[in-house]
Amino acid sequence: MEMKEMEQYLKAIDEVKAAYRKDLTILTGLEVDYIEGYENETRAFLNEYGPHLEDSILSVHFLKGQRNWHCIDFSPDAFERAFKDIGGIRETYAKYYEQLRRSVHADLGDHKPGRIGHMSLIRKFHQLHPSPSDWVHMAKSLLPVIKQEKMTLDYNGAGYKKEHCREPYPPVSIAQEAYELGIPLVYGSDAHTASGLNAGRAAMKTGLIHNTD
């Protein structure tokens, strides 16, 4: 979405809320990227539009390599370019989880999103490019930080539908540990289209999650 579309986006949601107020609970929300070095811009954006939001997610999609910025989940080829520029698969995972850690601690103002999005998105292509052996440790070490900051965790079924992933973000074992730590899990389908609604839901342990779709 371009910035010039924000006002129309908010207006459109208000119109849909009014039209379906008797049948659906609709929350105004955004997925906000945490991008290293752009904290001030993100805070300014949230200061302006945060008062309109009722739900929001903070995610990492972009990592800075030695030469370029990379969108890690765009395509297998894009992911390969990313890890070659960053210095290897393990280095890319380590950088990803470091950015997630930074996002949890980042001062993004009073309207900072309270939920971390798809914390294992880095595994989207793991069946093509296997994860490092210690990736689970990297992921689980983030959980106490999320707990400390009193954030919630996106339990995202979209990975089930990705041909090179076939698991939720995060996998069930990590979601279980988060649940046992007392971190609230919020199911999400990450639907970019109507056909994406309820992604992976039947395969996930629904007893762990609170549905907001």
pLDDT of residue 198: 84
pLDDT of residue 191: 86
Q: Between β-strands 55-59 and 115-116, what pairing exists: parallel, antiparallel or unpaired? A: parallel
pLDDT of residue 133: 97
pLDDT of residue 196: 82
pLDDT of residue 205: 58
CA dihedral 122, 89, 183, 203 (to 10 degrees): 50
Neighbours of 109 (CB within 10 A): 14
pLDDT tens figures, 11-68:
999 999 999 999 999 999 999 999 999 999 999 999 999 999 999 999 999 999 999 9
Which amino acid is located at 147 in the chain? Answer: K
pLDDT of residue 75: 97
Please list the ranges in the chain whose pLDDT falls under 50: 207, 209-213
**CATH superfamily, domain at 31-211:** Metal-dependent hydrolases (3.20.20.140)
pLDDT of residue 200: 79
- Taking alpha carbons only, the member of 167, 100, 105 closest to residue 138 is 100
Residue 102 bridge partners (DSSP)? none
- Taking alpha carbons only, the member of 149, 210, 161, 163 closest to residue 184 is 210
Residue extents of the structural domains in the chain:
31-211
pLDDT of residue 212: 41
Cα–Cα dist 29/188, whole Å: 13
pLDDT of residue 207: 45
